[in-house]
Amino acid sequence: MAQQPVENQRFESFPQLHETPEEIAFELRAQEGALWTGSRLLIGIFAFGFAALAFAYFYLRSANNEGLWRPGGITAPTDIGAAIFAVTVASALLVQFGERRFRINETLDWQVAGWTAVAGGLLAVGLQIWQLTQLPFFPASSGYASCFIAWGAMNILLILSGTYWIETILARELRLRRAMAQDGGAPNSTLPVARLLRVNLNGCTYFWGFIALLATIFWLLFYVI
């Protein structure tokens, strides 16, 4: 009888490792916790950045050295600014509405609201870029101009992040819809992919609420006050 090669004998001597149901459940809870924490940390990162911008805004405005905070009362194009604000807030409200419809298993409504929000996010980014080409001032011409251009760049990054996030969730639900449909659908399925999808969507919804809050605050700062 032929002997097995030494390599095969060595590998067969290793014990077969199998995860227990408790270990699998723990790993899934850990992934859910990581998604929950990561989404809140992302909000915190952006909050620090925009807080620094708000500090610069109020500091330069209060100092107003040689009247160079806002000479002549210059402002960015208000009509484009109002459009950016309206589209951004509307997109955030659509994400909120879609998430609520998702919870009651109205996934079609969620898909329509979500993809409309993606289109709205891209439109807001396009308007913001266009507005930066229509400014009646130069970047370093005043304190207001410097703060506004910094906000424009940061706002583009913020909205693009939210738009990309919701788009990936929508695309993932489409890919996994058939598998989750056999287990009650994405809102009710106990499959790991469905549970992670729900946590991810929850974090994204909070992020879009944060986007709407910042859009309101800085619209007031740059166009109203």
Q: What is the pLDDT along the chain (225 residues), one digit of tens a residue?
A: 445 554 554 445 545 556 687 777 888 889 899 999 999 999 999 999 999 999 999 999 999 888 889 988 889 999 999 999 999 999 999 999 999 999 998 999 999 999 999 999 999 999 999 999 999 998 888 999 999 999 999 999 999 999 999 999 999 999 988 888 888 888 888 888 889 999 999 999 999 999 999 999 999 999 998
The pLDDT value recorded for residue 11 is: 44
CATH 3.40.50.300 fits 78-225, yes or no: no
Q: Spell out the alpha helix ranges (H) of the chain.
A: 6-12, 21-63, 78-103, 107-132, 143-181, 192-219
Contact of 98 with 109, CB cutoff 8 Å = yes
The pLDDT value recorded for residue 182 is: 83
Nearest-5° Cα angle at 75, 72 to 81: 170
Count of beta carbons in the 10 Å neighbourhood of residue 188: 12
Q: How many whole angstroms separate alpha carbon 194 and alpha carbon 187? A: 7
Q: What's the pTM value of the predicted model, to 2 decimals?
A: 0.88
The pLDDT value recorded for residue 14 is: 46
Q: What is the 3-state secondary structure (H, E, C) of 57-116?
A: HHHHHHHCHHHCCCHHHCCCCHHHHHHHHHHHHHHHHHHHHHHHHHHCCCHHHHHHHHHH
The pLDDT value recorded for residue 1 is: 46
Domain regions of the chain by residue span = 78-225
Exposed/middle/buried for residue 156 (C-beta within 10 Å: 0-12, 13-18, 19+): middle
